[in-house]
Structure formats: C-alpha cells, structure tokens
C-alpha cells in the first residue's frame, strides 16, 4: 500500500519570508522541491491578513504546481472571489480568526450551515472540489454531507496536543470514528494539523483517511535537512505505516 496522499503545506516558508518582507525564501520554490520529493499535493492558506501566503504566491503556484493545488480559505466573499479567479484543484474551507496563531478549531458547519452551503454550491458550480476542515465530531461530519461538500479534513490538533496516553487514545478514537462516518456517508476523508514525524503513524493506520496535510513539521525539518529529504522521510512514514 502506498499510504495516504501527502499534501505539503508551504505556508511557513512564506512566514519566514514575511518576517523580513523579503523576496526569499520563496514558497513557490519550496513547493517545487516538495513535488520533486514526492508530495502529492501542495496546500496553502491565504489568510485575510496575508500574514504568510500572498496573492502573488497563489498566482504563480497555480501555474507551477504540477500535482494538485489545495487552497485553504475562510468562507468569505473575498476568498470566494479569489478562488473563482484562481480555480485551485480543491478548496478547503477553514475557520479564521485574526488573533489566532494558526487555525485553532474546525469549521462549525452546523452553526454556519447557510453560509457554508452557499459557498460550497458556488465553488461546486465552478468545478472546484470542496473540503471542510472540521473537528472529529460525527454531527459535523453529517452536516458536511448536508451542505454537499465532496470531502472533509479532520482536525487532528487535539490528538497531537494530548499529553497523556489515555487522552491520546481517546482523541485518536474520535478521529477514527469521524473518518469511518465520513467514508460511510460517501465523503473523501483527509486529516491534518499538528502531525509530525513522531505522531503520524497511528493516523496513517486509519484506512479511511486518504490524505494528510502537513506543514509545520515538514518545513521545520526542511530548514535543517532540506526540503527534499524532509518530504521523503514523511512519505516513507506514510507508506510504512499504511494499513
Ligand atoms: N490542514 C489545515 C486545514 C490547516 O489549516 C493546517 C495549518 O495551516 C494544516 C493542515 C497543517 O497543519 P500543521 O502546520 O500543523 O502541519
């Protein structure tokens, strides 16, 4: 088994560039190296405050990414317009608060049902695949089906942050249940957030999870050993741990 597909999130390369408002390091170059090393997808998050990825990065990556481009974005009018112009292969809708360090929780599809449904429809009509980044909660999974998303990405942050073996087991079983529910209901299932070289294997072992999106751990390792090696090492784990 080749294991789940690997989406490499290159936002943090842009974070380093924006720390100096410089032209480098370029996330476009990082995306190319990640693809050469076996990444199956490049994932980027265009935030409202443009703290890392810039509009220019999107435009260039749309032309240079040869695998798939997954755009994470908030369900706002501004972002829907961007997605319409850019036509990424996939949009992942994420919640967004300006003050957060990173995406902290999943999208509340139950509360935001009308807005999410409208955005999903607009993107589907433009032939863009839509995934919803949600907490591992069966009710959110069912809500994702009701708004007609193609896919879900299960938030693994709580599993990754769990401090005790018991908490970790409980959080992992939530991820397993959500993945099974999603697959049974016909959704494509991805997972991500907080995954690293130490904690990824139990998630890889979940048969229903077809894709993982990993950013911080890969970019952090790439800083020390290079992007190609960092991606290859993660790809190896994904194929070794596959069920
Ligand atoms: N998936 C989604 C939807 C995210 O928002 C992020 C963080 O940008 C990731 C995956 C990657 O998370 P991490 O950087 O912790 O690997």
Split at pLDDT 50, 70, 90, the class of 1 is low
Q: Report the CATH number at residue 13.
A: 3.20.20.70
For the stretch 9-52, pLDDT in tens is 999 999 999 999 999 999 999 999 999 999 999 999 999 999 99
SS3 call for 151? strand
Give catalytic residue positions.
45, 72, 193
Q: Give me 102's structure tokens.
A: 């990173």
Cα dist. 216→83, 100, 183 in Å? 24, 16, 27
For residue 213, report the distance from its CA to the centre of ligand 1, in Å. Answer: 6
Classify the C-alpha dihedral 124-129-133-137 as positive or negative: positive
Asked whether the beta carbons of 190 and 176 are under 8 A apart, the reply is no
Instruction: Provide the domain limits for residue 20.
Output: 5-241
Asked whether the beta carbons of 197 and 216 are under 8 A apart, the reply is no
Q: Give me 213's structure tokens.
A: 């999106």
How many residues in the chain? 243
For the stretch 131-152, pLDDT in tens is 999 999 999 999 999 999 999 9
Nearest to 89 by CA among 74, 76, 72: 72
Number of domains in the chain: 1
For residue 134, report the distance from its CA to the centre of ligand 1, in Å. Answer: 12
Split at pLDDT 50, 70, 90, the class of 162 is very high
What pLDDT score does 241 carry? Answer: 87
What pLDDT score does 227 carry? Answer: 98
Asked whether the beta carbons of 190 and 210 are under 8 A apart, the reply is yes
Number of neighbours of residue 39 by Cβ within 10 angstroms? 29
Asked whether the beta carbons of 136 and 111 are under 8 A apart, the reply is no
Q: Which atom of ligand 1 is nearest to the CA of 196?
A: 16
Ligand 1: residue whose CA is nearest its atom 6: 193
Where is 11: in which H helix or E strand?
helix 11-19
pLDDT over 80 (residue 121):
yes
Q: Provide φ and ψ at 104, rounded to 5°.
A: -90, -30
For residue 100, report the distance from its CA to the centre of ligand 1, in Å. Answer: 13
For the stretch 48-76, pLDDT in tens is 999 999 999 999 999 999 999 999 999 99
Burial class (CB in 10 A: 0-12, 13-18, 19+), 230: buried
Q: Which atom of ligand 1 is nearest to the CA of 7?
A: 10
Alpha-carbon gap, residue 142 to 90, rounded angstroms: 20
pLDDT over 70 (residue 158):
yes
For residue 214, report the distance from its CA to the centre of ligand 1, in Å. Answer: 6
| Ligand 1 first shell, C-beta below 6 A | 9, 11, 45, 72, 92, 94, 102-103, 133, 153, 192-195, 213-217
Is pTM beyond 0.75? Reply is yes
pLDDT over 90 (residue 128):
yes
For residue 146, report the distance from its CA to the centre of ligand 1, in Å. Answer: 24
Q: Which atom of ligand 1 is nearest to the CA of 133?
A: 3
- Which tops the pLDDT comparison, 93 or 104? 93
| Residue from 192, 200, 220 whose mutation best tests the ligand 1 pocket (most atoms within 8 A of CB) | 192
For the stretch 180-217, pLDDT in tens is 999 999 999 999 999 999 999 999 999 999 999 999 99
């Amino acid at each position: 088994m080749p294991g789940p597909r690997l989406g490499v999130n290159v936002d943090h390369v842009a974070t380093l560039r924006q720390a100096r408002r410089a032209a480098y390091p370029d996330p476009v170059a990082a995306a190319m190296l990640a693809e050469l090393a076996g990444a199956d997808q490049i994932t980027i998050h265009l935030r409202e405050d443009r703290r890392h990825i810039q509009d220019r990065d999107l435009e260039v990556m749309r032309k240079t990414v040869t695998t798939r481009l997954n755009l994470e974005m908030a369900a706002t009018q501004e972002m829907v317009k961007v997605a319409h112009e850019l036509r990424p292969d996939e949009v992942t809708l994420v919640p967004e608060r300006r003050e957060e360090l990173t995406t902290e929780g999943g999208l509340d599809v139950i509360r935001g049902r009308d807005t999410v449904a409208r955005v999903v429809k607009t993107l589907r009509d433009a032939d863009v695949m839509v995934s919803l980044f949600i907490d591992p909660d069966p009710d959110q999974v069912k809500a994702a089906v009701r708004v007609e998303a193609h896919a879900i990405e299960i938030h693994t942050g709580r599993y990754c942050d769990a401090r005790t073996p018991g908490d970790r087991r409980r959080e992992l079983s939530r991820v397993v249940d959500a993945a099974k529910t999603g697959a049974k209901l016909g959704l494509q299932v991805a997972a991500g957030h907080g995954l690293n070289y130490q904690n990824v294997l139990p998630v890889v072992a979940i048969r229903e999870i077809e894709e993982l999106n990993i950013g911080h751990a890969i970019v952090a390792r790439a800083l020390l050993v290079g992007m190609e090696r960092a991606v290859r090492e993660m790809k190896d784990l994904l194929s070794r741990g596959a069920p």
